[in-house]
Amino acid sequence: MKSGMTFRKGQIIFGEGAHPLGLYCVNNGKIKLSHRGEDGKEQIVRLSKEGDVLGYRALLTNERYNATAVALDDTDICFIPRDTFFNVLKNNPDLSFEIIKMLSTELRKAEDRITDLAQKPVRERMAEGLLFLKETYGFEADGSTINIVLSREDIANLVGTATETAIRLLSEFKNDKIVEFVGKKIRILDNERLIRTAHIYD
């Protein structure tokens, strides 16, 4: 039996190291999934939004969660208990295929991210991180302001750098008229230049 759950901004949805109890379907809201390294530093490994499904990998492999999920704003979740999920999966081959596709996509994105963190300079990673935020959450009504508020620390944890470095790079992007700040939000002024800075090519 599925059930609805509401999490306020900052609330933990599930914690790294916990046993999976079911599947989390995001009805609305924004979520960060982060992992802490041996040095205690947080690394954001995924950002989720409405329509995303969380926790299926740990559920299918019967492993503990390898990340902590935290609501970035008020978030509504549809929770499907473990037994219910597996019963549906056994009787629905199409759903099994969709899960395999999601796992394959997640693996590819993880491989791309590992490569970027290992090989790209931090300025390129920052530009790519902003483009990723735009792709994930879209723009507000003005067509240029990214529709998510992240702390500078969260942005640093997304691109894999120190908070001080993230602040410096964002200031450089502002001075270069690539972005500007609207309160705590970021407005992209020159998307093409951001793409060039990230060295992303079709």
Strand arrangement of the beta sheet that strand 75-81 belongs to = 3-7, 75-81, 22-28, 53-54
Asked if residue 34 lies in contact with residue 67, where contact means CB atoms within 8 angstroms, the answer is yes
Q: Do 95 and 183 share a domain, yes or no?
A: no
Q: Which of 81, 101, 117 is where one domain is finished?
A: 117
Residue 117 has pLDDT above 70, yes or no: no
Average pLDDT over residues 48-56: 92
Structure tokens at 82: 């473990």
Average pLDDT over residues 178-192: 96
Q: Which of 117, 136, 157 is where one domain is finished?
A: 117
pLDDT mean across residues, the chain: 91
Q: Do 104 and 128 share a domain, yes or no?
A: no
pLDDT at 109: 74
pLDDT per residue as tens digits for the range 121-138: 999 999 999 999 999 999
pLDDT at 159: 93
pLDDT band at 39 (very low <50, low <70, confident <90, very high): confident
For residue 144, give the CATH number of its domain.
1.10.10.10
Using CA atoms, how far apart are residues 125 and 146, in angstroms rounded to an integer? 17
Q: Do 111 and 23 share a domain, yes or no?
A: yes
pLDDT at 107: 73
Rounded to the nearest 5°, which phi and psi values hold at 193? Answer: -70, -35
Higher-pLDDT residue of 93, 157? 157
Using CA atoms, how far apart are residues 158 and 43, in angstroms rounded to an integer? 6
Closest CA to 58 of 113, 106, 11, 115: 106
Q: Which domain holds residue 167?
A: 121-198
